[in-house]
Amino acid sequence: MYDCMKMTLSYGLQNGGGIADSFSHTTGPRLILDLTFFCVVLVVLLNVFLGMIIDTFSSLRADKIERLRDTMEVCFICGIEKQIFDRASDEPDGFKTHIKIDHNMWNYLYFIFLLWEQDRDDDDGLEQYVRRAIDGSEISWFPMNKAMRLDRVATKNEVLRKDLKDSIANTQKNVLTRLDDFKQDIHGLMTQLMSNLKQESPVDDVRPTDINVLLMDDGSETGVENNNLDNERAVFGRHVSIGVKAINGLSMSQEDLSMISCRIIADGGNFSQQGQGADENMNTVMFDDTVTFPVLDNVHVNDKRMIQIQILHGDTKSIALASRRLLFIGHIELSAVELLLDAPDGVLEIPFQRSAPSGEDTEAGNNEGFAVPCILRLVVCSTIATEYGRETTA
């Protein structure tokens, strides 16, 4: 009987179909025993044990979540839930304010430590009451289900202050909205006004060589009214940007031509531009003519500002590391007005004398050498200034 029991439990539980898998299959009287073992042991008992395990873990998980919720969302002192304080508070995070200020559990613990360290004869009425409750393991001295923050009724001053704060916030919101609308209206009017001025301005209908007529110092030639208000004159200047298009006439090798660069020195800053291509047969260095640099602002007829253009042999990007290897090829100085007078089609051609022959190592700034005629081609762009101001003569 014992051996039969061991065999039944061992092979019956290990086999998926019960003890019948260890015997030859039959439809005789033993069929009832095999089916009974399969249903009772394998189907019912094993699933009961598995369900008990799953239910136990689920219960443990639910208890853990409940403890976490009770710790994080219920006040430890009064036992009131977080949602009630958040609804009753006029400020965000009302529950956090309550547990940090009103019912801070660490303050209660510090009070208990104070009673333990203090002599009984020094207790007042409240401290004596709390000491007796602590000695009796009672928590009746805790404000259970009570909070002054919930029972407090707002005074008239607090209500007035709140209404005033809300009124100020609404007024500020309305003012900002109207201010944004006003800015948009002004921007549209200024855009339309500038568009009309550009269409009606005679500066765009004449040649740049007539700029000295359009921008006369006294305004008499163009019919510009002299509104002498605070010694200011309504004068439109021009913002000037230039870029290097090409350099022709450099008798150099292909490798030397690829090392040609230009440096522009003006009020707008110092700019460098490296050549983008070279043609040894045409003795020409090409530059990216789509790149322009803002060199001068608000240029007028009596503007005496100057710009300098230096033609160098070498990479201007490595000037800090190899400044002694830069060769000085040429130097050009132009006034602000010359840029507008001599470029009717937007391209200005400037002849210059090359300071050194090809292949000769010369220090920067040395102008000795064979004079070789060359041409620097600049792209000149100018736009009408969009604000009124004084005429600059610097």
**Res. 234 pLDDT band, cuts 50 70 90:** very low
In this prediction, residue 152 carries a pLDDT of 64
Q: What is the pLDDT of residues 37-62, one digit of tens each?
A: 778 877 888 889 889 999 999 999 99
Residue 250 makes CB contacts below 8 A (sequence gap 6+) with 257, 260, 283, 284, 285, 329, 354, 358, 372, 374
More confident residue, 297 or 179: 179
> What DSSP string runs through 296-312?
EEEE-TT---EEEEEEE
**Res. 91 pLDDT band, cuts 50 70 90:** confident
**Res. 212 pLDDT band, cuts 50 70 90:** very low
Say if CB 11 and CB 4 are below 8 A apart.
no
Q: What percent of the chain has pLDDT over 70?
A: 75
Average pLDDT over residues 210-238: 42
**Res. 203 pLDDT band, cuts 50 70 90:** very low
Q: Where are the alpha helices (DSSP H) in 79-124?
A: 82-88, 94-97, 105-117
In this prediction, residue 55 carries a pLDDT of 92
**Res. 344 pLDDT band, cuts 50 70 90:** low
Angle (nearest 5°) at CA 117 between 115 and 118:
65
Each as own residue / partner, the long-range contacts of residues 195-204 (CB below 8 Å, 24 or more positions apart, any chain) are: 198/384, 201/236, 201/384, 203/236, 203/384, 204/384
Say if CB 249 and CB 375 are below 8 A apart.
yes
Both tokens of residue 72?
């994080």
**Res. 22 pLDDT band, cuts 50 70 90:** low
What φ, ψ does residue 238 adopt, rounded to 5°?
A: -135, 140
* Three-class SS state of 380: strand
380 DSSP β-pair partners: 242
In this prediction, residue 290 carries a pLDDT of 87
What φ, ψ does residue 90 adopt, rounded to 5°?
A: -85, -10
Both tokens of residue 171?
């007024």
Residue 217 predicted with pLDDT over 50: no
Q: Which residue ranges make up each domain of the chain?
A: 2-67, 82-149, 238-384
Say if CB 143 and CB 80 are below 8 A apart.
no
Average pLDDT over residues 335-357: 75
Residue 314 predicted with pLDDT over 70: yes
The most confident of 272-276, 296-300, 338-342, by mean pLDDT: 272-276
The most confident of 31-45, 70-84, 209-223, 234-248, by mean pLDDT: 70-84
In this prediction, residue 118 carries a pLDDT of 92
The letter for the amino acid at 381 is C
Residue 390 predicted with pLDDT over 50: no
Provide the terminal-to-terminal Cα distance of the chain, rounded to the nearest Å. Answer: 122
**Res. 235 pLDDT band, cuts 50 70 90:** very low
Average pLDDT over residues 245-263: 87
- Alpha-carbon radius of gyration of the chain: 47
* Three-class SS state of 43: helix
Both tokens of residue 384?
């009408």
Altogether, the residues listed in the chain come to a count of 394
> What DSSP string runs through 195-231?
HHHHHH-GGGGS-GGGHHHHT-SSSTTTT-----BTT
Q: What percent of the chain has pLDDT over 90?
A: 17
Residue 391 predicted with pLDDT over 60: no
Q: What is the pLDDT of residues 124-142, one digit of tens each?
A: 999 999 999 999 988 889 9
Q: What is the pLDDT of residues 153-166, one digit of tens each?
A: 556 777 788 889 88
* Three-class SS state of 22: helix
* Three-class SS state of 375: strand
- Mean pLDDT, the chain, whole residue set: 77
Q: Distance between CA atoms of 115 and 110, rounded to whole angstroms? A: 9
Q: Distance between CA atoms of 390 and 322, rounded to whole angstroms? A: 44
Fold designation for 238-384: Immunoglobulin-like (2.60.40)
In this prediction, residue 113 carries a pLDDT of 93
Say if CB 259 and CB 313 are below 8 A apart.
yes
